[in-house]
Amino acid sequence: MTHTEAQQAHLPRTLTRDLAAHDGQQVRLQGFVHARRDLGGVQFVVLRDVSGLTQCVGSGLSLPLAESSVEIVGTVKAHPKAPGGFEVQIADFRVISAAVEPAPVEIPKMEWNVNPETMLDYRVVTVRGLKERAALKVQAELVAAFRDHLGTEGFTEISTPKIVSAGAEGGANLFPIDYFGRPAYLAQSPQLYKQIMVGVFERVYEVAPVYRAEEHATSRHLNEYLSLDVEMGFIEDEEDVMALENRLLAAIMERLKERCAPEFALLGATIPEVPTHIPRITLMDARQLVTDQFGHAVGGKDLDPEAERLLCQHYAETHGSDFVFVTKYPRAARPFYAHPDANADGTPSQELTRGFDLLFRGIEITSGGQRIHDHAMLMDSIAAYKLSPESLAGYTEVFKYGMPPHGGFAIGAERLTAKLLGIANVRYARAFPRDRHRLTP
């Protein structure tokens, strides 16, 4: 080993984002060849590591294919035109692992709107793209903020089964599993389990995949997605749950501002302000509003996608809010466990529930509400929904034992990520999406 090699071997690795602190010094970098250019006497390598890009310049190098992983030892020099303001002058260039084929697409030149299916076919390597990585990084921070904030409010994390004997919301849209020769299904929600766990920890959350065997292909649905689930006991009514979600979203956006400014900048997106009190409107009033203000007649019992978009436009314009709660959903648009709203005389409403949605930038990102905790009321509701009490017996059992008033909500992590970053198709907010036709990679 030469003197220089010995020095280099002891040189700790520097990340590209930390170059400014090493101006004029020798550093050791590791990463992937993001781009390269050979001008004969001079070679340029753009090195990509987890923290960013660095332009490196050398001579007499034999450059490997792009995406090869390499180690570079060199001197940091301020260079106004280089990305990040610094360049590394290469003293030693070592290929750690050479790419054996050119990548099927050039990573620095990928565009999401060109051949989206091809991009997903080659996802094992296209996921290295800067925008792809930024989206997944933002999602990781968003999920971490979700957990951390709930921890400060006394919530406990739980892990519930994804293999279930029946669906939480009836039998539709379930993927069947062969469980040792018995029929079983992939859970479409941890709903029933998180309610049960309110009896243990009072306030719980879960971050885990859920499954919807929906055949439609839209830009807003995934067949497998990451659900951020919350359930809270000893509440007065659904207002406690909405207030919690309001605080939670504020904490999430705060963390994204602290940690993900470069990712938002790269994607040309802005982090929303969360109002101290997110505006709310009942579903009935919301349907009326989009008809009156925009002339849009809403079909069905809920809001259609166009109505969601118009309602958000209205609240952005009139309240400066990217968020709006839509409350008091009718029973016809909610599952059997939704708690009825109270009539003026205090009796349970036959029509309305304490269920709500949260809309963000034109789309629903949350369904939530207060749940039925009274056993007799729950059995009545199961009958009214024409569901089988037997198939739900494992669930309803717990309501015999003093379940307190409780409610919660679920946020689809990919959908929130996509709307935050202006990603048109939710599949790009998941590393390896599953859709009607896509089982690989």
DSSP E strands: which ranges in 132-202?
Answer: 156-157, 163-164, 176-179, 182-186
Between 142 and 269, whose beta carbon lies closer to a second copy?
A: 142
Q: Per CB under 8 A, which of residues 118..137 are in contact with a second copy?
A: 122, 124-125, 127-128, 132-133, 136-137
Candidate residues 197, 378, 382, 420; the one interacting with a second copy per rule CB under 8 A: 197
Question: With 0-12 CB in 10 A as exposed, 13-18 as middle and 19+ as buried, what is 239?
Answer: middle
Between 355 and 433, whose beta carbon lies closer to a second copy?
A: 433
Between 87 and 414, whose beta carbon lies closer to a second copy?
A: 414
- For residue 349, the minimal CB distance to a second copy (Å) is 20
Judged by CB under 8 A, how many residues of this single chain contact a second copy? 95
Q: Per CB under 8 A, which of residues 6..35 are in contact with a second copy?
A: 13, 30, 32-33
CA distances in angstroms from 254 to 149, 151, 156, 248, listed in the order given: 11, 16, 22, 10
Report the first-to-last Cα separation within the chain, whole angstroms: 43
Q: Per CB under 8 A, which of residues 409..428 are in contact with a second copy?
A: 413
- For residue 376, the minimal CB distance to a second copy (Å) is 8
- For residue 397, the minimal CB distance to a second copy (Å) is 5
Whether residue 414 contacts residue 139, with contact meaning beta carbons closer than 8 Å, is answered with yes
Q: Per CB under 8 A, which of residues 367..396 are in contact with a second copy?
A: 373-376, 394-395
The tokens 């708690």 sit on which residue?
339
3-state helix/strand/coil string of 269-290:
CCCCCCCCCCCEEEHHHHHHHH
Candidate residues 46, 47, 164, 338; the one interacting with a second copy per rule CB under 8 A: 164
- Candidate ranges 80-88, 112-120, 155-163, 360-368; the one touching a second copy (CB under 8 A): 155-163
Supply the DSSP symbol for 129. S
Whether residue 189 contacts residue 210, with contact meaning beta carbons closer than 8 Å, is answered with yes
Residues with Cβ within 8 Å of 185's Cβ and at least 6 positions away in sequence, in order, are: 163, 164, 165, 166, 167, 174, 175, 176, 177
Candidate residues 83, 171, 176, 320; the one interacting with a second copy per rule CB under 8 A: 176
- For residue 331, the minimal CB distance to a second copy (Å) is 21
- For residue 421, the minimal CB distance to a second copy (Å) is 16
- Candidate ranges 190-198, 241-249, 347-355, 357-365; the one touching a second copy (CB under 8 A): 190-198
**Among 191, 183, 194, CA closest to 212:** 191
Query: Binding of a second copy at residue 186 (CB under 8 A)?
Result: yes
**Among 153, 342, 332, CA closest to 238:** 342
3-state helix/strand/coil string of 200-212:
HHCEEEEEEEEEC
- For residue 157, the minimal CB distance to a second copy (Å) is 4
Candidate residues 69, 327, 353, 367; the one interacting with a second copy per rule CB under 8 A: 69
Residues with Cβ within 8 Å of 390's Cβ and at least 6 positions away in sequence, in order, are: none
Q: Per CB under 8 A, which of residues 76..105 are in contact with a second copy?
A: 96-101, 103
- For residue 175, the minimal CB distance to a second copy (Å) is 5
- Candidate ranges 85-93, 193-201, 275-283, 345-353; the one touching a second copy (CB under 8 A): 193-201
- The contact pattern for a second copy, residues 232-261, with x = CB under 8 A and - = no contact, is -xx---------------------------
Residues with Cβ within 8 Å of 241's Cβ and at least 6 positions away in sequence, in order, are: 230, 232, 235, 356, 368, 369, 370, 407, 408, 409
- For residue 34, the minimal CB distance to a second copy (Å) is 11
Query: Binding of a second copy at residue 308 (CB under 8 A)?
Result: no
Query: Binding of a second copy at residue 165 (CB under 8 A)?
Result: yes
- Candidate ranges 73-81, 154-162, 294-302, 418-426; the one touching a second copy (CB under 8 A): 154-162
Structure tokens at 368: 């939530």
CA distances in angstroms from 431 to 22, 49, 428, listed in the order given: 34, 18, 7
Query: 3-class DSSP state for residue 175?
Result: coil
Between 164 and 249, whose beta carbon lies closer to a second copy?
A: 164
Can you tell me the distance from the alpha carbon of 422 to that of 94, in angstroms, rounded to the nearest whole number? 39
